[in-house]
Amino acid sequence: MVERRKPIPVNEAVEKVMNYRLKGQTEKISINESDYRRLAEPIIAKHNIPSFDKSPYDGFALRSVDTAEASRDNPVEFEVIEHIGAGQVPQKELKNGQATRIMTGAQIPAGADCVAMFEICNAYEKNNQSFFSIKRRMSKDQNIIGEGTEVLKGEVLIEEGTLINPGVKALLATFGYHEIEVAKKPVIGVIATGTELLEVDEELQPGKIRNSNAPMIASQISRAGGICRYYGKLADEFESSYLAVKDALDEVDILITTGGVSVGDFDLMPDIYEKLGAEVLFNKIAMRPGSVTTAAVKGNQLLFGLSGNPSACYVGFELFVRPVIQHALFNNKPYLKRINAILADEFPKPNPFTRFVRSYITYESASVKIHLAGIDKSNVVSSLAQSTCFMVLPGGTRGFNPGDEVEALLLEDMEGQKDFS
């Protein structure tokens, strides 16, 4: 018998899941392993930048007061008492009429208060000693990048939860964060159900199809920032299925089950949830695809029953599982980024339910166009491969035309947004 299920709105389903969202954990890793992990601590400036007064140019550091009388007709002479490269530390303090030859980035010597670029200096030697003359007045602090003028010690530069991109990595390195507290990746278990399923390396058999959902979800988990643990296929037998689910729950933070193509495959799950003592949050959502998505909670663990239909499974994961993972990674923008876009194609079907249509984005003179994925092919199989977003078409509408403005949820954006809608 098919159980009667009451569909709830998508927003409500997302909210229910996020009430039981996973608490994030942290771990310490090397900066060298940190690409695209999320920070579990803010990056704080551990020292001023620059950490010393430095020169922005190659030139001579000198005392501006010594140039007071300099003019086109009255060159003033300086004796060069030291040569300083970047990374070298000046040893000598300048006195009246003395200067230090200095390279870009190098520390300004004691006594000096400005830098004259080589181009305005006339350098020469006398008795094996370097000198130069200058025909213009310099002012105090001219061509000096003062200590702390770029960043002051203690400043919070990057918030926790931020993704470590190449620029963030440069900041980490600058301040000596060689070990970093990052969000620990939650472990997401995946169990496939359905006797019609073959594994990827099995030969095709009559009446059967290969299990494409589990590898697909594994990729989605990885893209969302989690670690996938695949437990294989369940037979359609209650006791062994119950035990498999129960055992998996001991090892994972979140458990996903996904079926084959048959609705019948899910028949066991309600009874398994009951025997586990898991509370079902919802088992039907007013949306297409993915209406049979189920979520349940046992203690602090979420269990998701995703549809066996590949598109429905894909959508169910992105809408309901992804934000839970992102929240556990300390991202305060855990939801898919939602933008507006101009529909490039026709979508003539009336729409009783909210629809999440496999789509991709293009750009045209600073505006965003959205296209149906796979519209040029009769098959839907390859449309997921083309998809970089979902077009969100609200229920109760009679179809959409090219030029209409619609909403899109971006699947490959890494920033996200604060609220679901």
| Region 86-125 residues binding its own copies, contact defined as CB under 8 A | 86-90, 103-107
If binding is defined by CB under 8 A, does position 40 make contact with its own copies? no
Cβ contacts of 1 within 8 Å, gap of 6 or more = none
Q: Shortest approach of its own copies to residue 265 CB, angstroms?
A: 7
Distances (CA, A) of 101 to 51, 69, 80, 216: 20, 21, 7, 62
What is residue 276's three-state secondary structure?
A: helix
Say how far residue 302 (Cα) sits from the centre of its chain: 23
Out of 41, 58, 79, 345, the only residue in the binding site for its own copies (CB under 8 A) is 58
d(CA 348, CA 350): 6
Q: Are strands 301-306 and 254-258 parallel, antiparallel or unpaired?
A: parallel
∠ CA 21-307-334, rounded to 5° = 30
d(CA 357, CA 353): 12
If binding is defined by CB under 8 A, does position 342 make contact with its own copies? yes
User: Of the listed pieces 69-77, 169-177, 279-287, 392-400, which binds its own copies according to CB under 8 A?
Assistant: 169-177
Q: Shortest approach of its own copies to residue 157 CB, angstroms?
A: 5
Distances (CA, A) of 389 to 113, 353, 371, 393: 57, 19, 10, 13
If binding is defined by CB under 8 A, does position 405 make contact with its own copies? yes
Contact 408, 344 (CB under 8 A): no
For its own copies, the binding residues in 244-263 under the rule CB under 8 A are: 260-263
Rg over alpha carbons for the chain, rounded to the nearest Å, is: 32
d(CA 225, CA 158): 19
If binding is defined by CB under 8 A, does position 383 make contact with its own copies? yes
If binding is defined by CB under 8 A, does position 381 make contact with its own copies? yes
The two three-digit tokens of residue 69, written as one number: 């009388």
For its own copies, the binding residues in 298-317 under the rule CB under 8 A are: 310, 314
Out of 67, 98, 100, 162, the only residue in the binding site for its own copies (CB under 8 A) is 162
d(CA 35, CA 31): 8
Residue type, 362: T
User: Of the listed pieces 14-22, 136-144, 344-352, 378-386, which binds its own copies according to CB under 8 A?
Assistant: 378-386
For its own copies, the binding residues in 9-38 under the rule CB under 8 A are: 31-32, 35
User: Of the listed pieces 241-249, 292-300, 333-341, 347-355, which binds its own copies according to CB under 8 A?
Assistant: 333-341
If binding is defined by CB under 8 A, does position 207 make contact with its own copies? yes
Contact 25, 300 (CB under 8 A): no
Q: Shortest approach of its own copies to residue 345 CB, angstroms?
A: 15
If binding is defined by CB under 8 A, does position 49 make contact with its own copies? yes
Which of 88, 96 has the CB closer to its own copies? 88
Out of 8, 29, 216, 276, the only residue in the binding site for its own copies (CB under 8 A) is 216
Which of 68, 86 has the CB closer to its own copies? 86
Q: How far from each other are the two terminal CA atoms of the chain, in whole angstroms?
A: 36
Which of 97, 215 has the CB closer to its own copies? 215
Contact 283, 265 (CB under 8 A): no
Which of 243, 380 has the CB closer to its own copies? 380
Out of 122, 139, 142, 367, the only residue in the binding site for its own copies (CB under 8 A) is 367
Q: Shortest approach of its own copies to residue 278 CB, angstroms?
A: 25
Out of 139, 382, 401, 421, the only residue in the binding site for its own copies (CB under 8 A) is 382
d(CA 81, CA 99): 6
Out of 79, 236, 279, 345, the only residue in the binding site for its own copies (CB under 8 A) is 236
Which of 74, 379 has the CB closer to its own copies? 379
Count CB atoms within 10 A of the CB of residue 418. Answer: 9
Residue type, 354: T
If binding is defined by CB under 8 A, does position 127 make contact with its own copies? no
Contact 257, 307 (CB under 8 A): no
If binding is defined by CB under 8 A, does position 187 make contact with its own copies? no
Q: Can you spell out the DSSP letters for 31-89?
A: GGG-TT-BBSS-EE-SS-BSSS-B-SSSEEEE-GGGGTT-BTTB-EEEEEEEEE-TT--
Distances (CA, A) of 209 to 116, 200, 420: 76, 9, 35
Q: Shortest approach of its own copies to residue 14 CB, angstroms?
A: 20
If binding is defined by CB under 8 A, does position 326 make contact with its own copies? no
User: Of the listed pieces 65-73, 146-154, 249-257, 279-287, which binds its own copies according to CB under 8 A?
Assistant: 146-154
Out of 149, 240, 300, 401, the only residue in the binding site for its own copies (CB under 8 A) is 149
Which of 76, 144 has the CB closer to its own copies? 144
d(CA 381, CA 311): 9
Count interface residues toward its own copies (CB under 8 A): 98
